[in-house]
């Protein structure tokens, strides 16, 4: 039995709202050209094909089978098309910016963080803390904001790269950790990084 809707509280059949796609001739031409020419991300090509096949009257199940995508993807794409009908059709195919993406900490920030950690701590402090380093980076306009956890992450990466040829003078130390002797390489000017907690 094929249900095209849901039942109301009274038990009557209610029609389901369908997200039918009706493209203009220009939009259809632009999408067909987009799909057939050049190299583009597969995600964007699939979005264009969903619109084209929906415009031809194909059902969601059939499109899902042909393109190898889920029916939810098709329903979401159709819904977004209706929400953004006024926009250029090619802009609709692009990914929207995503929130919550962490800021990228580049080599410049890592270099400043290391230089601060290796310098003399501020007056009144015995050593640099992660919070003090974060405050100093903001004060020097290296970054607008940075958390103490990002500072910890940078210092951890710097410590793991101390054996690198590019770091200059290295000292080989034998350290006892959890009752086991282990060899570590430590850069002489950066001994203070280990105290940056």
Closest CA to 49 of 40, 88, 4: 40
Mean pLDDT score across all residues of the chain: 75
Beta bridge partners of 174: 183
β-pairing, 5-7 vs 13-15, is antiparallel
Distance between CA atoms of residues 53 and 62, nearest Å: 9
- In the chain, what are the domain boundaries? 18-93, 107-195
* pTM exceeds 0.75 for this model: no
Name the burial class of residue 31, with classes exposed (0-12), middle (13-18) and buried (19+) by CB atoms within 10 angstroms of its CB: buried
Q: Is 103 left (phi over 0), alpha (psi -120 to 50) or beta?
A: beta
Using one digit for the tens of pLDDT, what is the confidence trace for 57-87? 888 899 999 989 998 989 888 888 887 766 7
Question: Where do we find the tokens 């794409």?
Answer: 77
Distance between CA atoms of residues 137 and 196, nearest Å: 14
Please say whether the dihedral angle defined by the alpha carbons of residues 20, 24, 29 and 30, taken in this order, is positive or negative. negative
Q: Are 193 and 155 in contact (CB under 8 A)?
A: yes
Distance between CA atoms of residues 90 and 111, nearest Å: 41
Query: Where is 71: in which H helix or E strand?
Result: helix 71-83
Tens place of pLDDT per residue across the chain (197 aa)? 444 454 545 555 554 555 678 888 888 899 999 989 878 888 889 999 999 999 888 888 999 999 899 989 898 888 888 877 667 888 778 877 777 766 677 888 888 898 898 888 889 888 999 999 999 999 998 888 888 888 988 888 877 665 554 444 444 444 444 555 545 444 444 444 444 44
């Amino acid at each position: 039995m094929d249900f095209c809707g849901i039942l109301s509280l009274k038990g009557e059949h209610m029609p389901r709202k369908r997200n039918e796609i009706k493209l203009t001739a220009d939009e259809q031409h632009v999408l067909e050209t987009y799909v057939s020419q050049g190299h583009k991300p597969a995600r964007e090509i699939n979005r264009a094909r969903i619109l084209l096949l929906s415009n031809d009257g194909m059902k969601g199940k059939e499109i899902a089978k042909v393109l190898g995508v889920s029916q939810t993807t098709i329903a979401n794409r159709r819904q977004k098309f209706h929400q953004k009908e006024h926009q250029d059709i090619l802009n609709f195919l692009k990914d929207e910016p995503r929130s919550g993406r962490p800021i990228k900490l580049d080599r410049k920030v890592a270099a400043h963080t290391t230089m601060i950690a290796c310098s003399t701590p501020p007056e009144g402090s015995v050593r640099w803390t992660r919070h003090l380093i974060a405050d100093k980076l903001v004060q020097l306009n290296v970054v607008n904001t940075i958390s103490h956890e990002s500072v910890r992450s940078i210092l951890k990466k710097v410590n793991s790269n101390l054996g690198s040829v590019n770091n200059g003078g290295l000292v080989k130390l034998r350290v006892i950790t959890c009752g086991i002797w282990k060899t570590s390489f430590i850069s002489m000017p950066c001994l203070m990084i280990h105290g940056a907690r």
